[in-house]
Amino acid sequence: MRSAGEDGKVKERANAPGRLWYQRLKLDNKRMVAVVFGAWIAEYAHLPFTIGLPIAYFLSFNALTMYVDLGVFLLMIHYPKRLLGRFRMMLDQLKINEVLSEEVASQMRENARRAIYGRAEKYIPLIVGALASAAWVYQEFSKGLYGVLDFPDMQGNVTVIKDFPITVIHETLAATGLFIIPVIGFSTFIVIWKVLRSMVPSYESLNLDFMSPGRVGGLGPMGKLMVEVVLLVMVISTTYAGFGAAYYIITSQFHPAILGFAIVSYAFLFALVVPPVFTLYRFMVRKKREALDLLALNIKNIRKQVTLGDFRDERMGELSSLLQIHEEVEKMRTFPLDGSSTRKIIIFVLSPALASIPALLEPYLGKTISFIPIVIVVSIITQMISFKFE
């Protein structure tokens, strides 16, 4: 016999929208992750032993890019499930703080669950991935390089190998990888976008706690969820920026694609975070103004009664309490991020630039500083691992 909870989960799965392969890959299929990861590693690892590539291949830009792509790939697979868990924790905290009712929180959770399997989530990532893969294949064919492996090593020496059919198979699998990464990446960013849109309740259902810790109306959990989103985008951007900077310091070879990715990540960050922050800001301004107007009206009425001779202790105590509450409400901020969240976001946003700066200092300090970008990358990844949502 199944319990009521098990019956509810079965019913929920039955009513859930269908998931595409990459949605299952991200959310609930660890075996598929293992297969993709293992195939990717094996496909790159065998080349020096099957077609005579030098061992230096493992330290070439192509191979290093693959390592970084794999790390980002695994991060983006892991992240949506973590984000949805943080979203549920945020709603629970808002219910405890009585900022949201149980009914509103449940509806927001359901809206987010359904939104991440919508039409945009199903088709946009596939289109983007197909365009990226097709553009790369077209470029290789137009240059007559499809099936030709060429890579520079750390000393700048270029190795070119054409060994049919292995090199053709390698290029085909590389095109497949170039398809998968944008699919997972855009799918992840769409999940973030949907969750952030779902995290903003309607104006009528928001009950601000004007005297909450941090003076942000009890919206601190929302600020922490935004920190989580900023942390993911900046971890990815810092990883690529640090890798590009370290490689430039070692080889003096610059790759515009790395810089371009960092710039695109800032555009994503702006599009993802600014709209919900601005919406919450407008809500907080209106709620604060309404609360101050209501308090001012009550204070005016009591003062009028006192002026007419009503000096009872109860009346004077009520007036004193209202004046104190009015003072506390005035101190409430109209920005949904508290000081701690704001500081973390600023640091995370600056991390790609910090990881890139050593490349500018290389002419003065030498190649010995190549480890600095890697230290910054490891530091921000550690922040993601250790970040607590309390």
Predicted confidence (pLDDT) per residue in 346-366, tens digit: 888 888 888 888 877 777 777
Residue 74: closest CA among 375, 388, 348, 381: 381
Which pair of tokens denotes residue 93?
Answer: 């905290």
For residue 82, give Cα distances in angstroms to 99, 278, 352. Answer: 23, 25, 23
* Whole-number pLDDT of residue 1: 45
Residue matched to tokens 């790759």: 255
Q: In this structure, are 386 and 254 located in the same domain?
A: yes
Q: In this structure, are 194 and 182 located in the same domain?
A: yes
* Whole-number pLDDT of residue 13: 47
State which of 204, 229, 255 marks the end of a domain: 204
Residue matched to tokens 């109209």: 334
d(CA 369, CA 362): 7
**Can you state the angle between helices 220-251 and 339-365, rounded to 10 degrees?**
10
Residues pairing with 159 in the sheet: 151
d(CA 217, CA 215): 6
187-223 as b/e, with b when 16 or more CB fall inside 10 Å? bbbbbbbbbbebbbbeeeebbbbbebebbbbbbbbbb
pLDDT per residue over 141-187, tens digit each? 898 888 888 777 666 677 788 888 888 888 888 888 888 888 888 88
State which of 142, 171, 204 marks the end of a domain: 204
Which pair of tokens denotes residue 250?
Answer: 């070692």
Residue 1 three-state SS:
coil
Residue 269 domain-assigned (yes or no): yes
State which of 204, 222, 242 marks the end of a domain: 204
**Number of domains the chain is built from:** 2
- Which of the given ranges, 24-28, 258-262, 364-368, has the highest pLDDT on average? 364-368
Residue 376 domain-assigned (yes or no): yes
d(CA 140, CA 62): 15
Q: In this structure, are 137 and 282 located in the same domain?
A: no
Q: In this structure, are 111 and 190 located in the same domain?
A: yes
Residue 216 three-state SS:
coil
Q: In this structure, are 257 and 168 located in the same domain?
A: no
Residue 3 domain-assigned (yes or no): no
Residue 5 domain-assigned (yes or no): no
Residue 7 domain-assigned (yes or no): no
Instruction: Please give the torsion angle defined by the CA atoms of residues 165, 166, 171 and 176, in that order, rounded to the nearest 10 degrees.
Output: 100
Q: In this structure, are 245 and 135 located in the same domain?
A: no
Residue 186: closest CA among 243, 242, 131: 131
Residue 282 domain-assigned (yes or no): yes
Residue 368 domain-assigned (yes or no): yes
What average pLDDT does this structure show over 288-293?
Answer: 92
Q: In this structure, are 298 and 389 located in the same domain?
A: yes
Q: In this structure, are 166 and 217 located in the same domain?
A: no
Q: In this structure, are 258 and 288 located in the same domain?
A: yes
Residue 149 three-state SS:
strand
Q: In this structure, are 171 and 298 located in the same domain?
A: no
Q: How many helices (H) and strands (E) does the chain have?
A: 13, 2
Residue 262: closest CA among 241, 246, 231: 241
Name the more confident of 284 and 74: 284
Domain that holds residue 375: 208-390
